[in-house]
Amino acid sequence: MPTFAVVAHTLSPTNARLGTVLSPAQAAARLRPGDVALGRLDVLRSLDGIEPGAWALDLLAERGVTVLNGHSTLATAHDKLATANALRRAGLPSPETVAVAPWLLPPQLEPPFVLKPRFGSWGRDVLRCEIWAAFDEAVEAMSHRIWFNTTGGVVQRLIPPAGHDLRVVVAGGRVVGAVNRVSAPGEWRTNVALGARRIPTSPSREAAELAVAAAAAVGGDLVGVDLLPCDGRWTVLEVNGAVDFTGVYSSEDKIFASVRAALALPDSEPAIAGYAYA
Ligand SMILES: Nc1ncnc2c1ncn2[C@@H]1O[C@H](COP(=O)(O)OP(=O)(O)O)[C@@H](O)[C@H]1O
Ligand SMILES: [Mg+2]
């Protein structure tokens, strides 16, 4: 009977509720052809890349394991420059995004814009630059960050912050849940890690179609698509490859069941205790 496992480094609440969590090496040792693996490698806390283990996802795929959110999906979704390119190629609305790094010339984009890590998360080191002087200050402030000196970051056109956005979870090409994220008082960024509140919502048809298209643009089997309101429409800000969610994303706490159904996950899990290092 085929089994299902989450390939990750942490037993986060989302990972634990999705299924048995195996480290990349454990997954490589234990999964067999016909099994299903869901790649949940996240960005590194130092924001200079992706957690190790893409090798295991490649090896599993070669072996005949069905790999969801595989190497190339995670590489595209976690890298904001690669995501921007994929969204542009797919013809989806998203803010203009260019690379920025100590070894590059200043970005060919006029402020206001946002400077942030290529492999960012949790709203960390996401800096708003209204004028060039603010960009110079931001570069100075980031000059000792590992990410700025290794992967570099991106500069992205600022979409006038509205104090809220829409996070849509897409699984297997279907919307399985959504919340409005409302920024904390005095905070322009809408990250829950920065105090934003999550309010369950039912996305409009336009938002749902855009989120599904954005997920497809990165080849995402289970992703969180962030949409920002812009001139009365939605624009895609980013696609989260290791999205965290809870029961509030759907009525009656049914999002985890919806994910299993949308991805046609096998009911059984590996007959071994999962182990992950925190
Ligand atoms: N170009 C932008 N225009 C408007 N708001 C932005 C922009 N970039 C980031 N933000 C705000 O900052 C938050 C964090 O940025 P994001 O790119 O999603 O990075 P992270 O991966 O850290 O969540 C977003 O949820 C949004 O509220
Ligand atoms: Mg984000």
pLDDT 10s digits, 217-264: 999 999 999 999 999 999 999 999 999 999 888 876 799 999 999 999
Distance 262 CA to ligand 2 centre (A): 24
Predicted pLDDT of residue 64: 98
Mean pLDDT over residues 177-187, rounded? 98
Distance 50 CA to ligand 1 centre (A): 19
- What is the separation of C-alpha 216 from the centre of its chain, rounded to a whole number of angstroms? 13
Predicted pLDDT of residue 273: 60
Element (H, E) at 39: strand 36-39
Which residue puts its alpha carbon closest to atom 1 of ligand 1? 158
**What are the extents of the domains in the chain?**
97-157, 162-261
Share of the chain above pLDDT 90, in %: 92
Residue pLDDT, tens place only, 37-81: 999 999 999 999 999 999 999 999 999 999 999 999 999 999 999
Q: How far apart are CA 220 and CA 225, in angstroms?
A: 10
Q: Which two tokens stand for residue 106?
A: 């200043």
Distance 143 CA to ligand 1 centre (A): 20
Predicted pLDDT of residue 278: 43
Find, among 176, 227, 177, the residue nearest to 199 by Cα: 177
- What is the separation of C-alpha 202 from the centre of its chain, rounded to a whole number of angstroms? 20
Residue pLDDT, tens place only, 264-275: 999 877 766 665
- What is the separation of C-alpha 59 from the centre of its chain, rounded to a whole number of angstroms? 23
Mutation to probe ligand 1, out of 74, 115, 189 (largest number of atoms < 8 A from CB): 189
Phi, psi dihedral angles at 232 (to 5 degrees): 75, 5
Assign a CATH topology to domain 162-261. D-amino Acid Aminotransferase; Chain A, domain 1 (3.30.470)
Mean pLDDT over residues 116-138, rounded? 98
Predicted pLDDT of residue 274: 61
Distance 191 CA to ligand 1 centre (A): 8
**What is the number of the ligand 1 atom nearest to the C-alpha of 193?**
23
Q: Are 236 and 93 in contact (CB under 8 A)?
A: yes
pTM (2 decimals)?
A: 0.96
Q: Which ligand is nearest to the CA of 117?
A: 1
